[in-house]
């Protein structure tokens, strides 16, 4: 589903991502862990071309993201072409980014109507099914301000799913939530993983990574220090830097 090869990203003279190689098979969950500033979120944003990479390549479902290849060279796609490919990649951010002037249902159907050109009846039916899936069927007519943080994040997940994505990206989706609301969001994500959704999750929730991930990658200073099954990376890490990080976050 995802293949990243030699990905680099800098901001001016600040090298943030320094040659990352990662793959995600269809139906698998990759959890990215590591300290703040290690390049996790930047790499995630590169996957759907919210950030343009400086070197390397990223493909999703066999298609390069943001580029096409011609005679061995990468050429950036036009904005409309990039947007079309990006529409197949759902993304959930730390902050919910819901449209405050729209109801929950209107938030969910906006992109399917405008981007996918779905008929309104079909979009509404799908949206209501998704709200049922995330446990918010009774809040379709509410506005975001009337919802808790956990409820808003569940709406954000449903909104991303409304575009019927092939891949879901999560950028620390519980970091802005009060501790008692974290579980309800993680439960929705567990359900997606159980249903076979391909996912890349940037998270500090080590228990979630241990339970749900097929692969855990520990990033530090823009590189993958080690990656592998969660029972190895989290249970018996090979690198001292990984052991040091886990000792701090699990203490």
* Per-residue pLDDT, 102: 98
Tell me how far the alpha carbon of residue 151 is from its chain's centroid: 18
pLDDT of 72: 76
Which pLDDT belongs to residue 128?
Answer: 98
Q: What is the pLDDT of residue 87?
A: 86
Per-residue confidence in pLDDT tens, the chain, 251 aa? 999 999 999 999 999 999 999 999 999 999 999 999 999 999 999 999 999 999 999 999 998 888 888 777 778 888 888 887 888 999 999 988 899 999 999 999 999 999 889 999 999 999 999 999 999 999 999 999 999 999 999 999 999 999 999 999 999 999 989 999 999 999 999 999 999 999 999 999 999 999 999 999 999 999 999 999 999 999 999 999 999 999 999 87
Quote the CA–CA distance of 112 and 57 in Å, as a whole number. Answer: 28
pTM summary value: 0.94
The per-residue pLDDT for 106 is: 98
- At the fourth CATH level, the homologous superfamily of domain 22-45+78-249 is P-loop containing nucleotide triphosphate hydrolases (3.40.50.300)
């Amino acid at each position: 589903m995802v293949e990243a090869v030699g990905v680099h990203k800098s901001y001016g003279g600040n090298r943030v991502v320094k040659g990352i190689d990662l793959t995600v098979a269809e139906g698998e969950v990759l959890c990215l862990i590591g300290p703040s500033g290690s390049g996790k979120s930047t790499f995630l944003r590169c996957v759907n071309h919210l950030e343009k990479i400086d070197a390397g390549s990223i493909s999703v479902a066999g298609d390069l993201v943001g580029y096409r290849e011609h005679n061995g060279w990468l050429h950036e796609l036009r904005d409309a072409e990039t947007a079309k490919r990006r529409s197949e990649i759902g993304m959930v951010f730390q902050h919910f980014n819901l449209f405050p002037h729209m109801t929950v249902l209107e938030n969910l159907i906006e992109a399917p109507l405008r981007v996918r050109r779905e008929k309104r009846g079909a979009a509404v039916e799908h949206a209501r099914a998704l709200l049922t899936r995330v446990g918010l069927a009774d809040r379709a007519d509410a506005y975001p301000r009337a919802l808790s943080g956990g409820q808003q994040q569940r709406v954000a997940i449903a909104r991303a799913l409304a575009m019927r994505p092939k891949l879901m990206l999560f950028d620390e989706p519980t970091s802005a939530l009060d501790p008692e609301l974290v579980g309800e969001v993680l439960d929705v994500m567990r359900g997606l993983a159980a249903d076979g959704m391909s996912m890349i999750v940037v998270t500090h929730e080590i228990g979630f990574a241990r339970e749900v991930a097929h692969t855990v990658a520990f990033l530090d200073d823009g590189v993958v220090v080690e990656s592998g099954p969660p029972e190895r990376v989290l249970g018996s890490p090979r690198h001292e830097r990984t052991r040091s990080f886990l000792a701090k976050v699990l203490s």
